[in-house]
Structure 1
Amino acid sequence: MTTAVAGVVVLAGCGTGTGGGEPGTAAGIPAGDPVAGGTLRWRASSDEGCIDPAQVQLRPFVAFGRQMVDSLTYQNNDGEIEPWLASEWTVNEDATAFTFTIRDGVTFGDGTPVTADIVKRNYDAISQMGVASPLGSPVLAGYTGSSVEGNTVTMSFGKPSASFLQGSSIPALGIVSQATLDRTLAERCAGQVDGTGPFEVQEYVRNSTITLARREGYAWPPASFDNQGNAYLDSISVQFVPDGSVAVGMILSDQIDFVTDIVVTDADRIVNSPGVTVWEAIQPGTNTGLATNPKSGPMADLRVRQAVNKAINREELVAATLSSIDTIAPGILSPKNPGFADLSEMLTMDVAGAGALLDQAGWIPGPDGVRIKDGQPLSIEIMYYVPPLAPYQPMLELIQQQLAEVGIEAELSPQTVAQAFDNERTFNFDLSLNGRTRCDPIVLADWFGGYDPELDTLMAAVEAEPDTARRNEIAAQAQRFAMENVYLVPTNVWRYPQAYRSEVQGVVFDCANVPAMSEVWMSE
């Protein structure tokens, strides 16, 4: 049995930063006392159309949600799990039962207390939301319910779920009030969310602005935070600025203070700019890459998937279309993710080898350069969602050219976020540009669950293994198996650069590089 009492359970190193201070510390904080007051001007590229932390999936909105809700645990930037709304916890021998002691004195914005019973109701509700909670419900796979005894709540699972402790830290599993649970999902999306976080929704105008106001009486952040009371900021004002180059110009000219989603094509404009700090941290989870569809279409043939992987010149992709801070992917998982396995030897370009594989699969060169089989061209679509991944279009266009060199015709298929995720879920695609973030090797199952029974078995073994070292060994086997079967064609290490003006002090990022704004104060 594992117990944590006002301490940490060490998992493994997660995302770290190369800009803006040391990981897990208040980035860029100077000598002197923090100053209360002021409004942080925060830019996001687009509106997801929902602000409920349990329902969102785009990274800026995950970050907004983090300011509104607290979770049972907190995973810091070093990957350590700290107590938060839970003061301690125990895990049974086979990781099927997790008992949390709920911290005393915590209240929601409406004044009602946080109890073990309301925590149970939150988890029951999220487990029933299904696809409506795209980040929360996968964490609760196998959840069979919770039991309450005094100020403790025990979450039970029908199968080993070693990753659940880490999952209990994510914003999607943040705790909300009973009044919030009683509202419709649409009402919650519109901003009627009452959490325990340091900020509350004051106004949400879709496709225009979000205003978060400081909540008075906040006194229960993770113990590692310097600020143990109310947030310093009076408010946070979110502006939607679709054009990344315009947003960079705005932060350089002091029109906004914080940019969460700097696109790859704009990163070089802002790195090392005076008056601006850039957090260049690598994202945990998977690397950016092209997910393949092994269920139908041309990509159902392993030889075609292998040919696509061999046709890709990753060095050219990064050098020609990405930024100076980007690097080629050395495997499926991020180098900063627990359980990362270096699979660089499986990611070498081999145009001749790609052609030979396609020959073996029966795809012969056609008169126009596109291979054919049974009179049909080897034509595939590369799906990507817009606007978030629109900046990757130059990279995708270069991939088109590289695939054309081996006789594969690739068409780009931009889709909405909702369309793309639904098509991935139903295997209605050929290739899909994407990535998944979670500071745990189980992210493989979050993305590739259902791809292959053998891979599912390996990931089940990861979930059943309580020992971190052994768990990572099994995760490495799973990564190699997934790469041998080319369920992902990794392209580049997923970095998520964020920038803030030098007046913004005390920024702290968690393992997924989500900022905690309760620590932030404005020096001017």
Structure 2
Amino acid sequence: MRSRTRNAALLGATAVLTALALTACSASASPNTGASTGTESSATPVSGGTLRYLANTEPPTWDGQRVPSLNLNSINSSIFDTVTVQAEDGTYKPGLATKWEVSEDGLTYTFTLRTDVKFQDGSPFNATVLKQNFDRPLNETGLATASSGIVENTVVDDSTLKVTLSRPNASFIHALSTPHWPIYSGKVLTEHTPAELSANPKLSVGSGPFKVKDYVKGSKIVLEKNPDYNWAPSTWGHTGPAYLDEVTIQFVPEPQARIGALGSKQADAIDQVPPLNIPEVKAAGGKILEKDNTGTPYYLALNPNIAPFDDKNVRIAFRDAIDVDGLLKSVYAGEYKKAWTTTLPDTPPLGSYDKSLEKSWSFDPKASAKLLDEAGYTETDKDGYRTKDGKRLTINWAVDSLYVQTDQRQQLGEAIASSLKKAGFEVIRTPYDTAAFSAQLAKNEHNLADSSRGYADVGTTIQPYQTNAIPKDGGGSGINYGLLSDPQIDESGKIVSANSDPKVRIAEAQKVQKRILDEGFAIPLYVPKKIVGTNANVHGWKFDAVGYTDAFYDVWLGK
């Protein structure tokens, strides 16, 4: 069976490579002498060529306001400009807005806008169009941007928009710097429905350096240079149009097929390089570009509302029974670092990560066994699982199918489930379609769910544990997968969300991290990072502050 599975995988990879050979465009190279960013030496960028990029999945929706998606963020960053931009040091710079003023009560933001920007369909950017975009969460249901708290948008004049919030939101300016707030052409928003925006990326008309040229559902999206682009933020490496003529992004789920295409020069860059394959990419002459994410780690959210995790002893016992270090080493060859808290290092404001919590918990089978005894799970059934009052210690793990291949999380999840049998836990992993995932969690029938949230502001590391983020009946955008309702965390969350003083926000964020660990509400596993493989002719690749791929604007191709 093992041999047959391996052969089938190889045949699948070969088929994908054949398709790539038939459909991929060749990159037109121009003479150059070096490379671009990061650890590479500087060189003079050249224009022209098509970048052939292989992504692991197609985005579940093409509307950035609707569902956060790593792949969509990477694509939308090339199509849409943002109102503000975040610099490498975590500060915010002008984007489509040249400046902004905030009222003393933190409820009113007045944006002064650029007057030289036009959308890819030729329509103008102005305060009226920005109001259309900011009005969307007021008029549409199910938008993730509703959490920004906008209640009213007022056009002062063509270049000035006043935005009123229902509550102070310390991360509002950050939110406007992310691809979660794509600024669409007003013409598109007027002429098309939200459902059409979600389904068809040809309606993704922004003011960014690339525009959509072609799209084949389930196969690829092609971006072409916007020749009129001349309003790049100061955070970029150049001004004027992009260097590349086109970017062809193909959706190739099989990691080995992506790696094979890169090694055979049928692709210039690939996303989601599995850690175990990094030596293979390097041996074939490729480069590995990587950056740790900020925001939350990949973590397990435990549901404390129903048995057995309604007992703190069982929650802590479950954590103590997981050999995180050993599992990361076996699944990822040690490439991913262990996460110690529910906030990642370098998450702004700097200092939010509580370093004192490092090594505050560890793999401890003896302590786990003692806690299970204290919780009443003193018997063992014929299959080796702990029992209490004749009932097996079973953990139902709800899994979002969209993300099981991200970072080989399927393999990690299976390894965790298998390893826990020794401690007496039966772990059952049940996959759900993304569209039904939140609604399933809202039923309060699961014991465990996993997640990670990349965001360059500490507020997002607390939101997954706040009562107001619990998924509702019928779905929605709730990200509190453990259905946790804790007054102490809610109070700290309110302060972090509303207070603009970094010292206050840091102190409250650290309180939350400690409480989550003390109570066993979640188990941090590893620090996610973006791992991109490229051929030697690819230069100028950048990552944003979160650690996702930024736009292809500065990328250029050499020989």
Q: Is the TM-score greater than 0.5?
A: yes
Where do 1:99-138 residues align within 5 Å? 99-131=110-142, 133-134=143-144, 136-138=145-147
**1:420 Cα deviation from its structure 2 partner:** 3.2
**Alpha-carbon contact 1:50-1:56 (below 8 Å) kept:** yes
Asked whether the equivalents of residues 462 and 474 of structure 1 are also in contact (C-alpha less than 8 Å), the reply is yes
Shift of 1:428: 4.5
Cα deviation, residue 87, structure 1: 0.7
Structure 1: which amino acid aligns with 2:126?
Answer: T
**Paired residue for 1:40, among 51, 54, 71?**
51
User: Which amino acid is 1:250 matched to?
Assistant: A
Distance 2:443 2:123 in 1: 41
Higher relative contact order (CA closer than 8 Å, sequence separation 6+): 1
Question: Where do residues 267-306 of structure 1 align in structure 2 (5 Å cutoff)?
Answer: 267-270=278-281, 272-273=282-283, 275-306=285-316
Cα-to-partner distance string for 1:117-160 (whole Å, 9 max, x where unaligned):
211221110344443x34x333x1x3212222122222222222
Matched with 2:471 is none
Residue identity in the other structure for 2:241: N
Matched residue, 1:325:
335
CA 477–223 in structure 1, closer or farther in 2 if over 3 Å, else same: same
| Partner residue, 2:27 | none
Give TM-score, length-normalised by structure 2: 0.84
Give the alignment's Cα RMSD to 1 decimal. 2.1
1:499 aligns with 2:533: yes
Distance 1:32 1:408 in 2: 56
**2:298, 2:524 within 8 Å by CA — same for their partners in 1?**
yes
**Distance between the aligned counterparts of 1:65 and 1:321, measured in 2?**
31
For 1:395 and 1:284, how far apart are their aligned partners in 2? 21
What is the CA-CA distance between 1:76 and the residue it aligns to?
A: 3.0
Deviations 1:94-120 (A, max 9, x none): 432222211121111121211122112
Change (3 A) 1:257 1:28: farther
Which string of whole-angstrom CA distances, capped at 9 and with x for unpartnered residues, describes residues 249-286 of structure 1? 2112211112222234434433x446422222111111
Cα 1:154–1:265 change in 2 (3 A) is farther
Q: 1:347 to 1:197 in 2, by over 3 A?
A: same
Contact 2:123 2:187 in 1 (8 A): no
Distance of 2:95 and 2:244 partners within structure 1 = 21
For the residues of structure 1 that align with 2:80 and 2:310, how far apart are their CA atoms? 42
Matches within 5 A, 1:30-429: 30-131=41-142, 133-134=143-144, 136-138=145-147, 140=148, 142-150=149-157, 151-182=159-190, 183-189=192-198, 190-191=200-201, 192-270=203-281, 272-273=282-283, 275-338=285-348, 339-342=352-355, 343-368=357-382, 369-386=384-401, 388-390=403-405, 391-424=408-441, 427-429=444-446
Is the CA contact (8 Å cut-off) linking 1:53 and 1:66 kept in structure 2? no
Return the offset for 1:27. 3.7
CA contact (8 A) 1:28 1:505 kept: no
Q: Which residue of 2 aligns with 1:18?
A: none
**Percentage of identical aligned residues:** 28
| Partner Cα distance (2:173, 2:489) in 1 | 22
2:483 paired with 1:470: no
Matching residue's letter, 1:277: K
CA distance in 2, matches of 1:365, 1:346: 30
Q: Distance in 1 between matches of 2:438 and 2:275?
A: 22
> Offset at 1:219?
0.9
Counterpart-to-counterpart distance in 2, 1:274 and 1:79 = 36
| Paired AA for residue 365 in structure 2 | V
Q: Deviations over 1:271-316 (max 9, x none)?
A: x446422222111111112111123342233222111111111111
430 and 268 in structure 1: CA distance in 2 versus 1, 3 angstrom threshold: farther
Residue identity opposite 1:521 in structure 2: W
* Alpha-carbon shift at residue 323 of structure 1 (Å): 3.1
Is the CA contact (8 Å cut-off) linking 1:38 and 1:235 kept in structure 2? yes
Q: CA deviation at 1:32?
A: 4.2
Aligned counterparts of 2:137 and 2:123: Cα–Cα separation in 1: 20
Separation in 2 of the partners of 1:311 and 1:333?
Answer: 22
The range that moved more, 178-187 or 313-322, is 178-187
Q: 1:486 aligns with which of 520, 523, 528?
A: 520
In structure 2, the residue corresponding to 1:280 is in which secondary structure?
A: strand
CA contact (8 A) 1:244 1:266 kept: no
In 2, the alpha carbon distance for the partners of 1:36 and 1:114 equals: 27
Q: Is the 8 A contact 1:77 1:512 kept in 2?
A: no
- Look up the equivalent residue of 2:537 and give its one-letter code: E
- How far apart are the structure 1 equivalents of 2:58 and 2:272? 12
Q: Decide whether the 8 Å contact of 2:75 with 2:551 is kept in 1.
A: no
TM-aligned CA deviation for residue 208 of structure 1 = 0.9
Contact 2:278 2:288 in 1 (8 A): no
Structure 2 counterpart of 1:447, one-letter code: P
Structure 2: runs of 5+ lacking an equivalent: 1-35, 468-483
How does the TM-score come out when normalised to structure 1?
A: 0.89
SS in structure 1 of the partner of residue 170 of structure 2: coil
Matches of 1:426 and 1:95, distance apart in 2: 36
CA distance in structure 1 between the aligned counterparts of 2:311 and 2:187, rounded to whole angstroms: 51
CA distance in structure 2 between the aligned counterparts of 1:351 and 1:376, rounded to whole angstroms: 22
- How far the C-alpha of 1:425 sits from its partner, in A, is 5.5
Structure with the greater alpha carbon radius of gyration: 2
Say whether the 8 Å CA contact 1:286–1:436 is kept in structure 2: yes
Q: Contact conserved, 1:378 with 1:409, CA < 8 A, in 2?
A: yes
Give the conservation status (yes or no) of the 8 Å contact 1:76–1:509.
Answer: no
Distance 1:424 1:215, change over 3 A: farther
After the TM superposition, which segments of 4 or more aligned residues of structure 1 sit over 6 Å from their partners?
none
Q: Give the Cα separation in 1 of the matches to 2:245 and 2:501.
A: 44
Deviates more, 1:259-268 or 1:349-358: 259-268
How far is 1:231 from its partner?
1.0
Q: Secondary structure at the match of 1:186?
A: helix
